[in-house]
Structure 1
Amino acid sequence: MTLFTVEGLIRASVRSRSRGIADPPAVLWRAYQRWLTTQRRTGPAAGEVDGWLAAQQLMYARRAPGNACLSGLGRPEMGTLARPANPDSKGCGAVMRSAPFGLLRRGPETSFDHAVACAVFTHGHPSGYLAAGAFAWIVAAMVDGAGITQATASALGRLSAERDGKEVARALRAALGTAADGAPTAERVESLGAGWVAEEALAIAVYCAVAAPDDPQTALLAAVNHSGDSDSTGAICGNLVGAALGEPALPAAWLKELAGYELVGQVADDLVTEIENTATVSDAFGAATPAWSTRYPGS
C-alpha cells in the first residue's frame, strides 16, 4: 500500500501539471482501488492494467492485509472526515502507508492534511487517522532538516490543535520520555504497547528511532524484536530511519534480502523525479511527457 500511495501521489502531481487541477485524495482513492485489485487477483489481467505499478507481478500477493483496509476500500464510496470508513477502527494500517505524504516537500501541514484525508478511507477512529497525519508530519519535518526528536516535538504541537489528538499525543510523549532512558530494549518497547493500534505502533517506531539515532541496525532490531505487531512497527521505524539517515546508512546485507527491493527503489526514484526533477519528464508547456503520462496516467 505504501507503493500505491507513492503511485497515487505521482499521478496526482502529473494530473495537476497536465490538466491544471487535481484532488489528491480522489486520486489516492483510485490508487488504493488498484491495490485492492492486486489482493483479489493472482496477476495483472491483459489489457486491463491501469498504469505501470499495477502491471508488476510482485504486487499480486496477499501479505496479511488488514480487515479495515479491505473493507474500507471495498465500500462503494470514498471515506471522508465527515463520513469516515470504519469509524471505530484505529489499527495501524493507515499509519504504515503514510510515510510518502511526508516526502512531497510541501511542508508538514500539507503532508498531515493529505495523510489524514486518505487515512479515513479505511480507519475512521480519530487516533487511527491522526496517527497517520502525525507520522507524515514527522517525515516531512525530517525531510526539511529537523532531527527525529525535534520533528516529533513539532508533531505534538500540531496534535494539540486537534480536539481528538490527546491519545496520539500521549503515546508520542511516552515514546520520547522512554527514549531518554537509554538504548532501546524489548521491555521498554513493550511498555509503550503492542503496536496493533495506530498510536502504539507510531510510538514504538519513534521510540526505537530516537533511542538509537545514529545506529539504524539497533533501532530496527528493537522495532521488530517484541511480542506485538512487530512487522508493522519495523516498517514504520524503517521509514523514520531512512528519512533521517538515507539508504546508505541502512545495513546493505539486509536491503539485498528485501522482497521487491529493486521495485521499491524504482518507485522511490520516480517520486523524486516527479517532485524534484520535474523538468526531465515535462514537455515545453510543463505537462508530463507522453512516456511519463503512460507510466503514470493523471487519473
Structure 2
Amino acid sequence: MTAVWGRAQQQDFRSRVRGCLLGGAIGDALGAGVEFESLEAIRTAHGAEGVTDYVPAYGRRGVITDDTQMTMFTVEGLIRAQVRRDTGAWHPPTDVHRAYRRWSATQTEWGPDERRKDSGWLAREEWLYARRSPGGACLSGLADDTMGTLEAPKNPGSKGCGTVMRSAPFGLLVGWEPQLVFQLAVECAAQTHGHPTGQLAAGAFAVIVHGLARGEALDGSVQHALALLGARPGHQETTDALQSALGAVRQGLPSPQRVEALGEGWTAEEALAIGVYCALVAEDVRHGLLLAVNHSGDSDSTGSICGNLLGVQHGETALPPAWIAELEGRATLLQLADDFAMEMTQAPALHGPAGASPAWLDRYPAA
C-alpha cells in the first residue's frame, strides 16, 4: 500500500491523524475538570450552559488525563510493531502491550529511566509522568508482565470505558481490513478488561474510526461496526447501545438529557454510545464536544471519544484554534501524529532492507 500513496492522500491522512489525536485530547481536557460532577453541579458552577471552555483540572487548564496518555501509547505501540516487523517478529498485540506497560510506569515512577535505552522517545517525555485518575482495571491489568489474552483476559468481569477511550489509533490503520482492525482492538482490550462488552465496544469504536479515516460517513461507519458486532458472541450490550445512539438522533434536538438517557459513560458501551451520538448530532466540533462533556458521568472519556471521531472525520483544521493553543502536550501529540502518518505512508524510507534512519530507530527501537 505504501507505494500508492500520492502527496494529496498523504496530506489528507496526516490531517485526519492529527485531528483524531488532537480532537480526542481536547475533548478529554474539556471534561477533565467536571468528570465526577453531576449535570446540576456543573451548571451551578459554570452557568446554565455548563462548561463552555476549559476549566482547571490537576492544577491548570487544558490538562489531558489517562485517556489521552493511553491513546498516545497505543499509537507508539503500533509504530513500533511496524518497525519490529523488519526483524521477522509480527505480533502487534505484544507491541501494544509493551507500550501500555511503558504507560503504566508513568503512573508509578517519578520520571524516565535513562538506563532503558530501548524505551523509545515517548517514555522519555517527563510531562507524561503524571497520574490523572487512571482506571483501576487499566492499572491492575498492566501491573505485571503477563499479557491478558482473549483466552485468559485480565480482570474478567470488567467492562469499564478504559478499553474504548484508548482505541481510536487502531482505526487509523487504514491499510488493514476492518475485521482485522476490530480483532486487534478486541485483543488489546483483553489486556486490561475481560468482559466481552469492554472488548467489543473497543473493537466497534476502532472500526468506526477506521471508516471515517477512509473518508466514509459516520452513520455508515456505525452500521459497518454493527454488522461486525453481530457475528460476535456477547455483542448484545454493545449493539443495543449503538442502536440507542442512532435512535436518539431521531428523537429531536440534542440536549444533555438525551445524552444522559444513553448512560453516564463509566462502562464501555455507554461511553461509546454517548461519544457516537454527540458526533452524529454535532453542528460543528465545538458543539459536539461541549455536548459530550456536559452530563453527569465520565465527561473526559465521552469527550475524548467524541473528539477522536470528529477530529478524524473533519481533520485538524476543523478543531477550535483556541483550544488547540492551550492544550497540554500539543507538541508531543503533533509529533506522534506525524510520526504515525509517516510510518504508515513512507515506512520503506525510514527502515527496511534498503537502509534505515538511525534517528527513527532511536525513537522507535525494534528491540
Residue 124 of structure 2 is aligned to residue 55 of structure 1: yes
Deviation at 1:26, TM superposition (A): 0.8
Deviation at 1:20, TM superposition (A): 2.8
C-alpha separation in 2, matches of 1:292 and 1:99: 23
Secondary structure of the 1:271 match is helix
Q: Which moved more, 1:137-146 or 1:97-106?
A: 137-146
Secondary structure of the 1:80 match is coil
Deviation at 1:46, TM superposition (A): 2.5
State the TM-score, normalized to the length of structure 2. 0.78
* Pairing 1:1-299 to 2, within 5 Å after superposition: 1-16=70-85, 18-48=86-116, 50-105=119-174, 106-212=176-282, 214-282=283-351, 285-286=353-354, 288-299=356-367
The answer to whether the 8 Å contact 2:159/2:194 transfers is yes
Report the RMSD for the aligned CA atoms in angstroms: 1.3
Structure 2 gaps of 5+ residues are: 1-69
Deviation at 1:58, TM superposition (A): 1.3
Which one has more relative contact order, counting CA pairs under 8 Å at least 6 apart? 2
C-alpha separation in 1, matches of 2:356 and 2:184: 23
Deviation at 1:181, TM superposition (A): 2.7
C-alpha separation in 2, matches of 1:4 and 1:27: 10
Aligned match of 2:53 = none
Number of matched pairs: 296
Deviation at 1:103, TM superposition (A): 0.3
The answer to whether the 8 Å contact 1:127/1:164 transfers is yes
Structure 1 gaps of 5+ residues are: none
Secondary structure of the 1:228 match is coil
Alpha carbons of structure 1 residues 286 and 5: separation in structure 2 relative to 1, 3 Å: farther
The answer to whether the 8 Å contact 2:83/2:351 transfers is no
Letter in 2 for 1:20: G
The answer to whether the 8 Å contact 1:108/1:138 transfers is no
Deviation at 1:109, TM superposition (A): 1.4
Deviation at 1:256, TM superposition (A): 1.2
Secondary structure of the 1:294 match is helix
Summarize deviations over 1:91-124 as a string: whole Å, max 9, x none: 0001000000000111321211111110001011
C-alpha separation in 1, matches of 2:278 and 2:130: 29
State the TM-score, normalized to the length of structure 1. 0.96
C-alpha separation in 1, matches of 2:287 and 2:359: 42
Alpha carbons of structure 1 residues 288 and 179: separation in structure 2 relative to 1, 3 Å: farther
